[in-house]
Amino acid sequence: MRYLFWIIVLVAVVFACTHQTVRVEGFEVHGIDVSHHQSRINWDSVAMQKVHFAFVKASEGVTLNDSLYCFNWEEMKRVGIRRGAYHFFRPNLPAEIQAENFASHAEMAYGDLPPVLDVEVLDGASKVQLITGIRTWLYLIEIRYGAKPILYTNLKFYNRYLAGHFDGYPLWIARYNSREPRLACGRDWQFWQYGNRGKLNGIAGHVDFNVFNGSLDDLESLCMAPPVILSQR
């Protein structure tokens, strides 16, 4: 029976990794995230398929920049898709330099979604180094753009390393399943990446599918806004 159980588990894992992702029901706001791995995207086609937002990779570590970031960034604006940019975090590299790498490459404006920090590897760093580095990057980017960044990670990584930290920041959680993520600390998530084998016209190959935990108005309220200027009397 034990061997049968593990065979069933293995088959389920293989199926989840190879089966095409189908859009989940019950959510008003749908989105995707992309990088150079999707090659050159036809954003006019994407915009016609109920895609309300998209995140694009901007940078990684201290020197790497995504080769298609600028193209994707301008095209998302042109077709009217709410856009956001993310940085892939390397915990064993200086967080200050990583923040500067993102900020020097990501030209964000009012109406865009907040910057995103993608955290999913340790790279040999300790938990203390990880938490300290994340906190530094989030703080510097919040100061730079005047908006609280979004924290992206997968469910297991969050529950093991990040639960109980960064409660003031919006969460984007990856869990490839038909069931919504449940966080160990009990807090809510704002974005859910539920599959990585989605298919859309205009994108060659597969793309990650996401939903937003709220309405279109809620998504709008999360976007970066100009500072409030108080009148002086």
pLDDT of residue 61: 98
Q: Please indicate, yes or no, if residue 82 is contained in any of the structural domains.
A: yes
Rounded Cα distance between 149 and 30, Å, is: 20
Q: Which of 161, 51, 149 is closest to 99 using CA atoms?
A: 149
CATH of the domain at 202: 3.20.20.80
In the structure, what pLDDT confidence band is assigned to residue 225 with cuts at 50, 70 and 90? confident
Rounded Cα distance between 120 and 146, Å, is: 25
Q: Please indicate, yes or no, if residue 204 is contained in any of the structural domains.
A: yes
Rounded Cα distance between 195 and 172, Å, is: 13
Q: Please indicate, yes or no, if residue 9 is contained in any of the structural domains.
A: no
Record the pTM.
0.89
Rounded Cα distance between 28 and 166, Å, is: 27
pLDDT of residue 178: 87
Q: What percent of the chain has pLDDT over 70?
A: 89
Q: Please indicate, yes or no, if residue 34 is contained in any of the structural domains.
A: yes
pLDDT of residue 175: 96
Q: Please indicate, yes or no, if residue 208 is contained in any of the structural domains.
A: yes
Q: CA quadruple 18, 23, 24, 29: dihedral positive or negative? A: positive
> In this predicted model, what pLDDT tens digit does every residue of 155-210 receive, in sequence order?
999 999 999 999 999 999 999 998 999 998 889 999 999 999 999 999 999 999 99
Q: Provide the annotated active-site residues.
A: 33, 120
pLDDT of residue 9: 36
pLDDT of residue 227: 63
**Least confident range of 43-47, 94-98, 172-176, 223-227:** 223-227
The domain of 119 spans 24-222
> In this predicted model, what pLDDT tens digit does every residue of 9-32 receive, in sequence order?
343 444 445 688 999 989 999 999
pLDDT of residue 10: 42
Q: Which of 171, 220, 221 is closest to 52 using CA atoms?
A: 220
Q: Please indicate, yes or no, if residue 14 is contained in any of the structural domains.
A: no
- pLDDT surpasses 60 at 48: yes
**The total number of structural domains that make up the chain:** 1
Q: Which of 118, 163, 121, 117 is closest to 144 using CA atoms?
A: 117
